Amino acid sequence: MKNLFLTFLFLITSVLIFAQEKSEIKIKTFFHCANGKALIEREMAKLDGVMNVVADVETKIVTIQYDAAKQNKESLVKAIEKTGYLTEFSDKDAKINKACSHGDGEHETHKELHE
């Protein structure tokens, strides 16, 4: 009886885990160094529903796997902006508290996207 209960509990847990609406998005983000990568990955991973975050320093693309029932593109972009970085989806007039004190060039690149 105990084994039957444990099997049933395992099946229910598995169904709940796979019931999450797993989505993935790639967001071009204007960070430029390993510190920015670490900050984005650490802060984004704290969000409810975010399962995995990888920020690529070379391409500046942040790949996020998330539960679509808990997050969406807009909320993820706002969270990246809150860490101190602009994204390809940021409003052209978006104001952020820069996370990095060096390399202003990435913010100029963002402005060029909207011209």
- Residue-range domain boundaries for the chain: 21-113
What does the pLDDT read at residue 95?
83
Residue 65: which residues within 8 A CB-CB, separation 6 or more?
22, 23, 24, 50, 51, 52, 53
Angle between helices 73-83 and 34-45 (to 10 degrees): 130
The percent of residues above 90 in pLDDT, for the chain, comes to 58
What does the pLDDT read at residue 110?
52
The dotted CATH code for 21-113 is 3.30.70.100
Mean pLDDT for the chain?
Answer: 82
In this prediction, residue 108 has a pLDDT band, given cuts at 50, 70 and 90, of very low
Q: Where are the alpha helices (DSSP H) in 19-103?
A: 34-45, 73-83
Tokens 């704290």 label which residue?
A: 46
Is residue 55 pLDDT above 50, yes or no? yes
Give the C-alpha separation, 55 to 61, whole Å.
6
Full-model pTM: 0.72
Is residue 61 pLDDT above 90, yes or no? yes
